[in-house]
């Protein structure tokens, strides 16, 4: 009888276990700029992950690494994520801000997220070549260097296979269309699998 009750209790606890939280800390590329929020790749990721995970999209259009770092402590405290996906840096690059400052901000975001008990994934962004060879090279290398420094999985390029296709962007040629969002998710999905299946 007691064994049966314990078994029933165990089954009930597993059925009603709260989903783990995956926090997306990003900019307009993750916030669904110019499209419906349910079409954005974080929403598609929620559908793919299912009920065991809750995706909290804390992305804000126009966000920089400094802004993300400022908002992070409150997000960590409120949502207590098991996983944090960081998609920041594009606006730093587009504004020509110092790469060293962006790198320090991202490094601190990684450290604070880990200190809060979350596993961290970093998503890479690349700049158009018209920003100058030296700056773009340094900017591109930043994500690989951070991954190596913090022993993170290799950062996927968010717009891999998309950046070369103007028709996959809104008229501003900066933000992917709704039709491109499944491809964006496909680029990120291997990293998501690595972080959520441990």
The tokens describing 79, both together, are 């949502």
Beta-sheet pairing, 119-122 with 83-87:
parallel
The tokens describing 1, both together, are 């009888």
8 Å CB contact between 125 and 163: no
Catalytic residue among 43, 79, 107, 175: 175
Alpha-carbon gap, residue 70 to 92, rounded angstroms: 15
Q: Which long-range contacts (CB under 8 A, 24 or more apart) does 66-73 make?
A: 66/92, 66/101, 66/105, 68/25, 68/26, 68/27, 68/105, 68/109, 69/105, 69/108, 69/109, 69/112, 71/25, 72/25, 72/109, 72/112, 72/113, 73/112
Is 140 in the active site?
no
**Listed residue (168, 113, 193) closest to 146, CA to CA:** 113
Is 165 in the active site?
no
DSSP for 69-115 reads HHHHHHHHHHH--SEEEEE--HHHHHTT--HHHHHHHHHHHHHHHHH
Is 28 in the active site?
yes
Catalytic residue among 28, 30, 59, 113: 28
Question: Which residues are catalytically annotated?
Answer: 28, 172, 175
């Amino acid at each position: 009888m007691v064994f049966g009750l314990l078994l029933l209790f165990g089954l009930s606890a597993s059925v009603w276990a709260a989903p783990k939280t995956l926090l997306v800390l990003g900019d307009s590329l993750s916030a669904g700029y110019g499209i419906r929020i349910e079409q954005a790749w974080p929403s598609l990721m929620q559908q793919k992950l299912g009920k065991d995970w809750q995706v909290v999209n804390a992305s804000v259009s126009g966000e920089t690494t400094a802004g993300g770092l400022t908002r992070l402590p409150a997000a960590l405290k409120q949502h207590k994520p098991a996983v944090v996906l960081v998609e920041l840096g594009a606006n730093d690059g587009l504004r020509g801000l110092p790469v060293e400052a962006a790198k320090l901000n991202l490094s601190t975001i990684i450290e604070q997220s880990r200190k809060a008990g979350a596993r961290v994934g970093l998503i890479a962004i690349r700049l158009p070549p018209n920003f100058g060879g030296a700056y773009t090279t340094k900017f591109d290398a930043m994500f690989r260097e951070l991954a190596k420094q913090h022993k993170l999985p290799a950062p996927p390029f968010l717009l891999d296979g998309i950046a070369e296709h103007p028709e996959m962007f809104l008229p501003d040629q900066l933000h992917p269309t709704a039709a491109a969002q499944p491809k964006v998710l496909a680029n990120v999905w291997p990293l998501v699998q690595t972080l959520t299946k441990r």
